[in-house]
Structure 1
Amino acid sequence: MNRRPVYSRSGKPRAAGASPWVEKDGVTPVFVDGPAEDEAPTLRQRAASGWQRLYARHQGPVLVAISALVTLAAVGAYDALKPPPQNITPGQFKASVNQIVDERPRPPSTASLVYGKVIRSVVRVNGYDPDEPEKKDDAAAPPKPPVTPLPGPQGAPNEPDNPAAQNPDGKGVEEDFHEKFTAVGTGVIIDDQGTILTNLHVAGAAKKLRVTFFDGSESEARIVGARPENDLAIILPDVIPDDLQPATLGSTANLHPGDEVEAIGFPFGIGPSASSGVVSGLRRSFEQGDKSRLTNLIQFDAAANPGNSGGPLIDANGDVVGIVTAILNPSGLRTFAGIGFAVPIESAAGAVGESPL
C-alpha cells in the first residue's frame, strides 16, 4: 500500500509566491516543507554556528588563549611606547646625590640641643664696687685683650676703641669686662627659688653682686653659702623672673673619658657662649694661686677662659655634671691652653644640701 507523503524533502526552490500546498494526482493537497530561498541558511550562518559549537566545547582553553594574546599585546605596546633608557655618567650621578643631600633637612647637632635645654638656667654674675667710679684710669685698668678690627658699614674698618666693634650687643668687651665690673663670671640656677651655683673666686671678689638672667632682667644678689675647699659659692638673687627655669642636675657616676661635654659661660664677658669638647680625665687635682689644692676634678678640653668660671659643664643629655672652676696654662697666661677643670656636680649640690639624683 502506497503511503501518502506528508512533507517533501526536495531541495528544489519553489517559485516566489507559490503556495506550499500542491496537489497530487490533481486531487489531494500535500504540504511541501522545503524552505524558501530567502530562508535557507547562508555560509556565514553555518560558520558562526560552527564557532559557537567549538567555543562551547573548548570554552576554558579559548579564554586562556584570548587572555594571553591580550597580555602580549599590552606588553608589546608598552615596549613600543617606553622611552629609551638614559645613560647617566658618574659625574651626573654624583651631582644628583649631592643635590639630594644638600636639599635634605639636616637635624640639629647634639651640642645645639643640649645648649637649648640648659641655656635658660645660665646667668651672668657681675661683681662690682659701688664706691668706685664705673670708668677707671687707663693706668689702673688691666691690659686690654687685642681686638681685630672688623669691617664696618660700606667696608670701612671700625676702630678697636669703638665698643660696637667688639660686641654686637652694643657694649665693648673692654667696657663690660675690665672697666664696669671688678669680676665677671657665670652661674647656673639649680632650683625654683632661684638658688645659683657659681665659683667662690667670682662671688667673693667684689663687694656687690648683680646677676643677669636669660630674659635680660637683672637683680642684686648676695652670698648665702660657700664651700672654699671646692671653690664654690651659693648666691641668691633678690628678684627672680616669672619664667625661671632651673637646670637639671646629672651625675658623674657614668661619666668616662671621651664623653662629650659642653661648657657654657661668658668668656671675657661675651655670651652666653658655648664650647664643646670631651672629658679628658677624672679625679684630677689643681693647685690654685693661693697654694690651696682642689681635688677630684673633671678635666675637659672644651674651651674655657676668664668669665667661664662658675658656669655649667653639661653632658650629652643636657644635664649639669660639673661647675667650671679653673684652667691650666703653663705659660702663666689667663687664656685657655686646652686643659680645663670642673667641680663634680655631686660636690656642688652637696654645698647646698641637695642631691643631684
Structure 2
Amino acid sequence: MRRPAFYSRSPRGPQGAAERGAPDAPDAPGIPDTPAAPAAVAAPRWQPGRRSFGLLLALVLAMGATGIVMWPKQGTHTLTQKDIDSAVLRTLQTATLPSPAAKAADIIRPSVVRVVGYGTEKTTPEAKTEKRGRNLAKGKPPEAPPESVAPGGQQVERGVGTGVVIVDKGIILTNLHVVAGAETVKVTFADGLEAPAIVTGVQPENDLAVLQAQKLPDDLIPATMRSTADLQPGDQVVAVGFPFGIGPSVSAGVVSGLKRSFRSPEGKQELGNLIQFDAAANPGNSGGPLINMNGEVLGIVTAILNPTQQRTFIGIGFAVPIENAATAAGSPPF
C-alpha cells in the first residue's frame, strides 16, 4: 500500500510560480535585458509532519505517565495489626460459629458406625432393660416386639452398640459385650451403607472386639487416634454413639478421672486403667469413641456406673484408653 507523503518539498521561486501558472512579472523600466543570474536556491524550512508529530505525542504521553507513577499517592492506608484484630473481633461478634464439641463431632462422624447383633432374643434382665429403653426412645410401647430382623427372618435384634473405624480397610473397634453371643453382626456406616461384619479378634480383659466389615463405602474415612499420655482431669471430651439405638448422638463433658477401675453389675469382670468422664452415655453408646476437641479418639466407651439395675446414666462413664484398644486390633498406635 502506498504511504502518503508526510510533507511537501516543492521549490519556492519564479520557476515554481511559473509552473503553478502565475502571470509573468513585467520588466523593470530602464534596465536592459541581460541574462539573469541564476537565482540562489533557498534552503527548505523544516516543517513538522505526521511522523514528527507522533513522536512528539509519544514523548508527551511518556512524560505524563512517568509523572503519574512518580507522583506521591494521597489518601492510601496501610493495614496495621490493630485493623486486622478489629476485623477479626467484629467477625466473632457478628458471626455464629460452631461450638468445639460440634466441630469435633463433625470430624469423627464419618468414622462412627452403628453395630447390631442378631440372634435368639435374650431374656436376661439387662437385655429386657435395653429393649425397653430402645422401644421408648423410638416412641413404641416398652414391651413391643423387636422390629429389626436379620436377613433370612430367623434372628431378631439382640442389641445395638457403636463402633469406630480405625483402618480404611474396614477394621472396626467395639465392645465385646455388644457382639458377644450374636450369631450375625451388621454395621451401618455414616453414609447409610449396611454391611455384614465378622469378629476377627477379642480382648476380654478390656471388653474389646475387632470387626471386619464385608462391604465398604467408597470413601471410608478412618478415625485419628491420640495418645492419652498427656490427658488430664478437666480436659473436654465428646462421646458419639447410638444410645438405645438412636443416633448418631453427641454428648459433651470433661474427663473426671484417670486410671479408674470398674466391676460389672454382675461382678463377672473387672476392668482397670479406665478413663472416667461425665459426658452422657447410655446403653448403645458402648463401643463408641470418646474424643477430644480435635476429633481424635482417646478411648472406647465401655461402661457406665449405676448402683441400681436401671442401667441409665447418672454422671459417671468409663472408656478404655485407645492405647489398650488399638492393641486388640494388633496395631498399637503409639
TM-score greater than 0.5 by the shorter chain: yes
Matched, 1:354 2:327: no
Contact 2:114 2:163 in 1 (8 A): yes
The aligned counterpart of 1:208 is 184
Q: How many residues align?
A: 232
The aligned counterpart of 2:224 is 248
Tell me how far apart the structure 1 counterparts of residues 145 and 104 of structure 2 sit (CA, whole Å): 27
Q: Aligned AA for 2:132?
A: K
Matched, 1:115 2:115: no
Tell me how far apart the structure 2 counterparts of residues 102 and 112 of structure 1 sit (CA, whole Å): 17
Shift of residue 161, structure 1, vs aligned partner: 4.0
Q: Aligned AA for 1:127?
A: G
The aligned counterpart of 1:264 is 240
The aligned counterpart of 1:128 is 118
The aligned counterpart of 1:301 is 278
Shift of residue 213, structure 1, vs aligned partner: 0.4
Deviations 1:241-281, CA, capped at 9 Å, x for gaps: 11100000011011000000000000000100000000000
TM-score calculated relative to the size of structure 2 = 0.64
- CA-atom RMSD, angstroms? 2.9
When residues 299 and 144 of structure 1 are mapped into structure 2, their CA distance, relative to the original with a 3 A threshold, is: same
Larger radius of gyration: 1
Q: Aligned AA for 2:105?
A: Y
Shift of residue 291, structure 1, vs aligned partner: 2.6
TM-score calculated relative to the size of structure 1 = 0.60
Is the partner of 1:346 in helix, strand or coil?
helix
Shift of residue 162, structure 1, vs aligned partner: 8.5
Q: Which runs of 5+ in 2 are unaligned?
A: 1-89, 150-154
Q: Aligned AA for 1:144?
A: R
Tell me how far apart the structure 2 counterparts of residues 222 and 304 of structure 1 sit (CA, whole Å): 26
Shift of residue 290, structure 1, vs aligned partner: 4.3
The aligned counterpart of 1:232 is 208
Shift of residue 101, structure 1, vs aligned partner: 9.7
The aligned counterpart of 1:182 is 158
Specify which of 301, 309, 334 is matched with residue 324 of structure 1.
301
Contact 2:171 2:210 in 1 (8 A): yes
Shift of residue 351, structure 1, vs aligned partner: 1.2
Q: Which runs of 5+ in 1 are unaligned?
A: 1-99, 150-159, 164-171
When residues 103 and 350 of structure 1 are mapped into structure 2, their CA distance, relative to the original with a 3 A threshold, is: closer
Shift of residue 103, structure 1, vs aligned partner: 7.9
Is the partner of 1:255 in helix, strand or coil?
coil
Alignment of 1:1-357 (within 5 A): 104-129=94-119, 144-145=132-133, 147=136, 160-161=139-140, 175=147, 180-288=156-264, 289-357=266-334
Contact 1:173 1:270 in 2 (8 A): no
Shift of residue 204, structure 1, vs aligned partner: 1.3
Shift of residue 102, structure 1, vs aligned partner: 11
Deviating 4+ runs (over 3 angstroms): 100-103, 140-143, 145-149, 160-163, 172-177
Tell me how far apart the structure 2 counterparts of residues 259 and 176 of structure 1 sit (CA, whole Å): 38
Shift of residue 356, structure 1, vs aligned partner: 2.3
Shift of residue 183, structure 1, vs aligned partner: 1.1
Tell me how far apart the structure 2 counterparts of residues 184 and 240 of structure 1 sit (CA, whole Å): 20
When residues 102 and 124 of structure 1 are mapped into structure 2, their CA distance, relative to the original with a 3 A threshold, is: same
When residues 279 and 173 of structure 1 are mapped into structure 2, their CA distance, relative to the original with a 3 A threshold, is: farther
Q: Aligned AA for 1:108?
A: P
Contact 2:234 2:255 in 1 (8 A): yes
